[in-house]
């Protein structure tokens, strides 16, 4: 094989390898819904409609948060101790997370964001649909016939928050956001209980709520 042919083949291989990566990078600047990329890092991303006037929104309709565990979370928790986590335990944890979310975000958006929380649509109302996914509680505090075990962890767990923001009247999707967080690693092991798990979850949600208020203020130019 002569040198020219070798060079041509190498060029074709490089094109086939790099072209999909370039195309993927370009398409990632626009979401499947047609929203434009605002910010992206290893933990998540934000997309928004560049033509939206965010200053018109003074009220928020906050939907109840849906909660979903990491895939195979129950199976993994029960691997060393069968029936440690039952379906009832999972439903209680999900209900608790949804309750904490509503409390934290309602307070931050109204008290610190200056928004009125409403259950009615309107031209000045944005609708936020939240979803907590990939919830991974490292040491759930559950009880069965053998009683409770003392559990020690370095971190309470991790989860991902996804938000979809709509115009409440038209139903147009105007922004989406996704972010992953893990509770801080203390560098030492500590007794983990349902109280400590809820406390860590609240702290993570407070950080998310404050960040949402900050982002909305930036979008409104305030």
49-76 pLDDT, tens digit per residue, is: 999 999 999 999 999 999 999 999 999 9
Q: DSSP string of 68-136?
A: EEPTTHHHHHTSSSTTSS-HHHHHHHHHHHHHHHHHHHHHIIIIIT-PEE-SS--TTEEEEEEEEEEEE
pLDDT of res. 8: 47
Contact in structure between 131 and 66 (CB atoms under 8 Å): yes
Answer yes or no: CATH 1.10.150 is held by domain 37-220: no
pLDDT of res. 6: 55
Residues in the chain where the model's pLDDT stays below 50? 8, 11-24, 26-27, 145
pLDDT of res. 115: 97
Query: What is the pTM (predicted TM-score) of this model?
Result: 0.80
The structural domains of the chain, with segments of one domain joined by +, span 37-220
pLDDT of res. 23: 42
Digit-coded pLDDT (tens) for 122-159: 999 999 999 999 999 988 877 654 555 667 665 778 99
């Amino acid at each position: 094989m002569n040198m020219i042919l070798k060079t041509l083949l190498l060029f074709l291989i490089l094109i086939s390898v790099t072209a999909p990566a370039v195309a993927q990078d370009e398409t990632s600047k626009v979401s499947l819904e047609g929203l434009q990329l605002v910010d992206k890092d290893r933990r998540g991303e934000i997309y928004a409609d560049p033509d939206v006037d965010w200053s018109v929104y003074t009220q928020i309709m906050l939907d109840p948060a849906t909660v979903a565990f990491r895939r195979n979370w129950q199976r993994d928790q029960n691997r060393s101790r069968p029936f440690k986590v039952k379906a009832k335990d999972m439903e209680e944890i999900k209900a608790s997370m949804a309750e904490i979310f509503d409390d934290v975000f309602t307070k931050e958006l109204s008290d610190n964001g200056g928004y009125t929380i409403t259950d009615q649509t309107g031209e000045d109302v944005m609708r936020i649909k939240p979803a907590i996914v990939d919830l991974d509680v490292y040491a759930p505090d559950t009880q069965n016939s053998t009683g409770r075990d003392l559990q020690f962890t370095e971190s309470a767990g991790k989860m991902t928050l996804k938000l979809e923001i709509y115009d409440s009247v038209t139903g147009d999707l105007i922004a989406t956001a996704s972010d992953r967080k893990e509770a801080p690693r203390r560098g030492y092991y500590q007794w983990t209980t349902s109280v400590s798990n809820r406390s860590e979850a609240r702290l993570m949600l407070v950080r998310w709520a404050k960040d949402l208020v900050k982002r909305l203020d930036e979008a409104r130019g305030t």
